[in-house]
Structure 1
Amino acid sequence: MRYYESSQTFHYNWEQVVKAFWCRYPNPFSSHVLSEDVVHRRVDSSGKLLTKRLISKTNSAPKWTERFLTSKNVLVVEESVLDPNGHTLTTYTRNIGLKHLMTIEEKVTYRSSDDGKGWTVADRQAWIDSSVFGLSSAVQRFGLERFKKNVSKACQGFNFVLTALYDNLNPEVVTTSENHISINPLLREKLKEKALRATEFAAAAKSKAVPIVVAAHRHDSS
């Protein structure tokens, strides 16, 4: 098994990051994400919002893995716990497809930074494992390197969405290593609309369970 951990800082406050979390896709860095669906959502007795989403992704794979692949698409389960009182959003992600080749489990905690700047830190942990006879080490190495690249893309994509939503408040420009990525006005409006709907249940979690469930169902059905 390979273990990976890292921390990323987003130059936005925790509430902004939480709102943007629900509309990370689409963005120019997530073309491998095919779909996302909320399959369950509820508020527990302590006021925490519990959400389970099913995400479909595709990734290119080296030729030596082709004989192990039944499909290039993989289903991923993302479970999240939003604690509005503790100001944390914790996500647990695992693949439920292609487990015969490799398993990746990830935990990310979004919290306010400790430096007093009002920014948000994402503490990330991941476990990559494989039980392919004779190739487990190679598969784990490949999985770790692929995971690192995907983390970089995920952070770029998240920053893109954050900038699209809050660029009037934050002057940072999102770029790739090759060229500047401009923000399509239609995409900006779509992201803002999704963030507005997400705000309904994220904010309601601070007070009552009933309104947040109503808002969540409204969000899911739209």
Structure 2
Amino acid sequence: MKIWTSEHVFEHPWETVVQAAWRKYPNPHNPTVVGLDVIDRHVDKQGRLVSHRLMCTEWGLPMWVQKLVGVDRACYASEHSVVDRKRKTFVLRTNNVTFSNLVAINEQLTYSPHPTDKKSTLLKQEAIITVHGMRLSSYLEQLVVNTCSSKATQGRVAMEWVIGKINTEVKDLAKGVKGIKHNLENIATKAENLESPL
């Protein structure tokens, strides 16, 4: 068994980062995620958004590893998440479904406001990798750890890309509202001119 941990600070508010995490896929920085389906989503008695999603990925493992564990390129993972707006936490727990009897990957991501900078968000990641009953298990576990580390870096880049996309949408929306306001003011001015005696 190997444990991989990481922390990262997004210089964006928690609400923005959580919105980006929900809208993360598809994106050009994580092309291995090819599908994401919502199995269940509801608000629990505590007012938390609870979700279960199924993710289809192409892991990009070397061909010899695919043959060794007996899988093709498509792999599936189950993701359970809880968004708690009161406590400002977003916790995602993901475990692989494909070949889990040989290699178990249990990952947890926790997004919360940074303890000293409320305008930033702290991401804590942990992955527990266990290879069952195979030769070279320590080597395979380290290979998966390296993959997790690489994917985490790509994931952070993807999050920044999605946040940039959200910020652009907000700016475009504000510009559209400003244009509508300007048009309404013009219409009001023309209406006043029509009502004024010459």
Fold in common (TM above 0.5): yes
Aligned to 2:81: 80
Residue 139 of structure 2 aligns to a residue whose secondary structure is helix
TM-aligned CA deviation for residue 167 of structure 1:
5.0
What whole-Å deviation, never above 9, does each CA across 1:82-101 have from its counterpart, x for those lacking one?
A: 10100110110000012233
Q: Whole-Å Cα distance in 2 between the matches of residues 9 and 155 of structure 1?
A: 10
The answer to whether the 8 A contact 2:26-2:34 is kept is: no
* Percent identity of equivalent pairs: 26
Aligned to 1:39: 39
TM-aligned CA deviation for residue 64 of structure 1:
3.1
Q: Whole-Å Cα distance in 2 between the matches of residues 125 and 13 of structure 1?
A: 22
The answer to whether the 8 A contact 2:32-2:60 is kept is: no
Q: Which stretches in structure 2 are left out of the alignment for 5+ residues?
A: 174-198
Q: How does 1:53-72 map to 2 (within 5 A)?
A: 53-65=53-65, 66-72=67-73
* Structure (1/2) with the larger strand percentage: 2
Change (3 A) 1:119 1:167: farther
Counterpart of 1:36, as a letter, is: L
1:138 aligns with 2:130: no
TM-aligned CA deviation for residue 129 of structure 1:
0.8
- Which of the two has higher C-alpha Rg? 2
TM-score normalised according to structure 2 size: 0.81
Residue 127 of structure 1 aligns to a residue whose secondary structure is strand
Change (3 A) 1:115 1:168: farther
What whole-Å deviation, never above 9, does each CA across 1:91-128 have from its counterpart, x for those lacking one?
A: 10000012233111011110000123411111111101
The answer to whether the 8 A contact 2:13-2:121 is kept is: yes
TM-aligned CA deviation for residue 137 of structure 1:
1.0
Q: Which stretches in structure 1 are left out of the alignment for 5+ residues?
A: 170-187, 190-222
Counterpart of 1:155, as a letter, is: R
Q: Whole-Å Cα distance in 1 between the matches of residues 120 and 102 of structure 2?
A: 38
What whole-Å deviation, never above 9, does each CA across 1:40-98 have from its counterpart, x for those lacking one?
A: 01111111110000000002222431232232211011110110100110110000012
Aligned to 1:218: none
Residue 153 of structure 2 aligns to a residue whose secondary structure is helix
Aligned to 2:103: 102
Aligned to 1:155: 156
TM-score normalised according to structure 1 size: 0.73
TM-aligned CA deviation for residue 168 of structure 1:
8.5
TM-aligned CA deviation for residue 29 of structure 1:
0.8
